[in-house]
Amino acid sequence: MQTLNEAHERCVNGDRKLQIHGVLNGYWYEDHVLEYVREHGNDDIWITDETDEMVTVVIVHQKERR
């Protein structure tokens, strides 16, 4: 299983948007995306779609935050 941090890294490498199904949609460098990834980066995700423009994920397990 992958984490949100890993999906975000895929977006950075391809200069793509990150869409978290039901939560947010934006380019990997936008403040609201960076803040969400900082807070939820270790959450387990499934990549549901990946194109040249966007990586779409769904969060399947939120890890406990410290």
Residue 8: Cβ-neighbour burial (10 angstroms; 0-12, 13-18, 19+): buried
Question: How many domains does the structure of the chain reveal?
Answer: 1
* pLDDT value at residue 63: 82
Does 61 fall in a domain?
no
Cα 17 to chain center, whole Å? 9
DSSP state of 30: S
* pLDDT value at residue 66: 58
Does 43 fall in a domain?
yes
* pLDDT value at residue 58: 97
* pLDDT value at residue 16: 96
Give the range of the structural domain holding residue 29, as residue numbers without chain letter: 2-48
CB 65 within 8 A of CB 25: no
Contacts of 39 (CB under 8 A, 6+ apart): 65
Give the total residue count for the chain: 66
> For each of the chain's 66 residues, which pLDDT tens digit applies?
899 999 999 999 999 999 999 899 999 999 999 999 999 999 999 999 999 999 999 999 888 765
| Phi and psi at residue 51, to the nearest 5° | -125, 180
